[in-house]
């Protein structure tokens, strides 16, 4: 039976079961790490058989990828589906975007996922790729689309929008992300965090603003 012909009631039950699996996987992956987590433990926590779990996800790696995508997607959608309109204040719009961006990337869940990937990627290099493809890469593509629109409107100089997106993200984060990862917590709501974002926007506009003659390699 194809997905298109699954009765609505059965489809709803399947969706609820998949959601329950992802919630349990999230708890176990974040608490125990990728290496220590097992499909058997996840199935036991769910109260079902490992065979049923494999009906939804063929491997622990596939389940980890689904967990990553699910964890990042809703927060990313909240950020990128409501990007600020520029109107007559490009700087203000980019500062607004930057403050939202650091709230997203410095949130407890996203930081926990980053720590998990960093801790496990040495032994399981594929985890880094799964994380990159489901999270950061999609984010830079969506930010690049936004900047590409600003370039077409004449707000920014024409260049590689993905390169510009990477530079802007790095300027937003500055040392904030490292400090958050290390547990030297600087709240994304603090005045100095907002000042870092504003300074980053000013540096970005000096290099990428319309009429800028600054040469930026890769951007």
- What CATH number is attached to the domain comprising 44? 1.10.10.60
First-to-last CA distance in the chain? 49
Number of domains in the chain: 2
Residue 216 forms part of a structural domain:
no
- pLDDT category at 186 given cuts 50, 70, 90 is low
Please answer whether residues 167 and 219 qualify as being in contact, where contact means their C-beta atoms are separated by less than 8 angstroms. yes
- pLDDT category at 83 given cuts 50, 70, 90 is confident
Residue 4 forms part of a structural domain:
yes
Residue 219 forms part of a structural domain:
no
Q: Domain range spanning residue 13?
A: 1-58
Please answer whether residues 194 and 172 qualify as being in contact, where contact means their C-beta atoms are separated by less than 8 angstroms. no
What are the two backbone dihedrals, phi and then psi, of residue 114, each rounded to the nearest 5 degrees? -55, -45
Residue 53 and residue 150 in one domain:
no
d(CA 218, CA 204): 14
Residue 195 forms part of a structural domain:
yes
CATH of the domain at 141: 1.10.357.10
5-43 pLDDT per residue, tens: 545 677 888 889 999 999 999 999 999 999 999 999 999
Residue 105 and residue 203 in one domain:
yes
Please answer whether residues 121 and 128 qualify as being in contact, where contact means their C-beta atoms are separated by less than 8 angstroms. yes
CA nearest neighbour of 95 among 164, 172, 180, 191: 172
Tokens at 43, concatenated: 């199935």
Where a domain ends, among 38, 58, 78? 58
pTM (predicted TM-score): 0.80
C-alpha gyration radius of the chain = 20
Residue 45 and residue 124 in one domain:
no
What are the two backbone dihedrals, phi and then psi, of residue 177, each rounded to the nearest 5 degrees? -70, -45
């Amino acid at each position: 039976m194809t997905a298109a012909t699954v009765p609505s009631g059965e489809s709803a039950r399947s969706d609820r079961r998949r959601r329950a699996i992802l919630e349990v996987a999230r708890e176990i992956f974040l608490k125990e790490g990728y290496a220590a987590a097992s499909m058997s433990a996840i199935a036991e926590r769910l109260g079902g058989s490992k065979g049923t779990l494999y009906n939804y996800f063929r491997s622990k790696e596939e389940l980890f990828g689904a967990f990553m995508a699910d964890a990042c997607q809703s927060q990313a959608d909240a950020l990128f589906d409501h990007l600020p309109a520029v109107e007559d204040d490009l700087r203000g719009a980019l500062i607004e975007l930057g403050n939202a961006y650091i709230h997203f990337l410095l949130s407890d869940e996203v930081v926990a996922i980053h720590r998990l990937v960093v801790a496990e990627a040495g032994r399981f290099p594929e985890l880094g790729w799964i994380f990159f493809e489901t999270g950061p890469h999609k984010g830079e593509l969506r930010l690049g689309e936004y900047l590409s629109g600003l370039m077409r409107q004449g707000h920014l100089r024409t260049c590689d929008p993905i390169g510009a997106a990477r530079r802007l993200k790095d300027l937003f984060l500055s040392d904030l992300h490292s400090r958050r990862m290390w547990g030297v917590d600087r709240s994304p709501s603090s005045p100095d965090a907002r000042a870092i974002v504003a300074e980053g926007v000013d540096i970005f506009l000096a290099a990428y603003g319309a009429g800028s003659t600054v040469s930026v390699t890769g951007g």
